[in-house]
Structure 1
Amino acid sequence: MQSSATQPLLKAALWDMDGTIVDTEPYWIEAEHSLVAAHGGRWSHGQAMQLVGQSLTYSAGILQQAGVKLEIREIIDILTAEVISNVRHRVPWRPGARELLDALFQDGVRCVLVTMSEAPLAREIVGSLPDPYFEFLVTGDTVTHGKPHPEAYLKAVELLKVQDPELSIDQCVALEDSAPGVAAALASGVVTVAIPHIVPLPDDPRHTTWASLEGRSVADLEELVAGRHGEPGEGPSQRTAASRSYAQ
């Protein structure tokens, strides 16, 4: 293995969007409630929670079961348009997300957006940032299988390798807030950080859990990748302990 002096251990951060960078979940839930109500149905908080982090195609199918008499594509377009409208009024940033993005950008760590939202909403969020933090976007309309399938993360790594063939999946970190997202990242083999938001996540020694991105640094991510490589840093037992200490 090459030394970190010649081969940086942390080369890329793969970011989920909804719930991780921005707190758009309330916008999605509001849109779901409105759509179901318009079709004479009722939409519970519990039903809404089951869709957090899921692909839009899956979510639209559940909304059809709840009585929405529209095609999958129509449902996705209506939900997305309402969320975009709300985002244009106010972008609800998650604590610490922009600061960590900026630190990664300044340190030359490549960043990719890996979201199940479609490109129009993703571009709206990315366009609200002060710098071109994201090298490219992997969105829900560019993959065949949504989270929890690993396709989106595997695609992100392959695209990163186009310009850096020596990049390995162990040099990438995924930042996720939901169970489907964490499952997708873990299944891809990427070092995974869970930042639970709307829905609590169970303890799992396979990933690290942080209560928030606030106060987190590039060094924190480098430490996790170093642990994967067997370098001095936070080892598996320490990561497991950390995952049990976050505020519920």
Structure 2
Amino acid sequence: MDGTIVDSEPYWMRAETELVESFGGVWSHDDGMLLVGAGLWGSASILQGRGVNLDAESIVQTLTSRVQELLQEFGAPWRPGALDMLTELKAASIPLALVTSSVERMARQIADLVGFAAFDVIVAGDMVEFSKPHPEAYLTAAALLGVDSERCMAVEDSVPGIAAAVASGAVVLGVPHMVDLPASAHYDLWPTLSGRTLDGFTDLFSARRGPGALALTLPDSE
């Protein structure tokens, strides 16, 4: 979600800076970059190390509430091509899951801002035991969609997110934003979703899974 569908990382960095400074500390842009794609509870321990005298749960909830306020005030800064791709996937009746390290209440806020019921399933950071790079969230999403994770395709923008998606067995597409993503045989990279279409997704999936793979992904009723 953050960095793939919406460019919310600047909101998170602002919230982190405000929180650290409220305890007399200093938080830089480079500090914020360390948390991109990381689980919120793991990030909380880093913030505690910078002087934030709150328990991890309080840090997570405080940051989330502040980011939600910024989303409400300034709107959702959609990533290029993200809404168009969601619209095309939905029109093609392809089941969609939103898998995020953010908490459920924020994920549902973003899902509502899309303007239509884009997601069949939401799996947020407070709905699983292990954060990315652990694959639990992606495996849970596939199970809730009723498909094997190897029949899924994941789109990610961070190193921990890609690691989680690859470990789940999904076909993985990296679209870098705040951090560079190294080239790898385990996933494909696009510089942006802008101008991309469903055909590009299906071609990538077929290339990874081989001829006839798409026929296997059709619902049983079809």
Normalising by structure 2, we get a TM-score of: 0.93
Q: How many residues align?
A: 212
1:232, distance to aligned residue in structure 2 (A): 8.2
- For residues 86-116 of structure 1, give each alpha carbon's deviation from its aligned partner in whole angstroms, at most 9, with x where no partner exists: 1112111101000000000000111100000
Query: How far 1:209 moved relative to its partner?
Result: 0.4
Deviation for aligned residue 1:229: 2.3
Structure 2: which amino acid aligns with 1:102?
T
- Greater relative contact order, per chain length (Cα 8 Å cut-off, separation 6+): 1
Segments ≥4 residues shifted beyond 6 Å: none
Corresponding letter in the other structure for 1:218: L
Per-residue displacement from partner, 1:209-228 (whole Å, max 9, x unpaired)? 01011011111111111112
Aligned partner of 1:97 in structure 2 is 82
1:122 corresponds in structure 2 to 107
1:27 paired to 2:11? yes
- For 1:72, the equivalent position in structure 2 comes to 56
1:178 to 154, 158, 163: 158
Q: AA paired with 1:199?
A: V
Q: 2:39 is matched with which residue?
A: 55
- 5+ residue gaps, structure 2, are 214-222
Distance 2:22 2:206 in 1: 51
Consecutive unaligned residues of structure 1, counting only runs of 5 or more, are 1-16, 162-166, 234-248
Instruction: Give the partner amino acid of 1:58.
Output: G
Counterpart position of 1:218 = 198
- Determine helix, strand or coil for the equivalent of 2:173: strand
CA RMSD between the two structures: 1.2
Does residue 44 (structure 1) correspond to residue 33 (structure 2)? The answer is no
Match runs of 1:230-245 below 5 Å: 230-231=210-211
| Matched letter for residue 31 of structure 2 | Q
Structure 2 counterpart of 1:31, one-letter code: A
Number of the residue aligned with 2:116: 131
**2:143, 2:149 within 8 Å by CA — same for their partners in 1?**
no
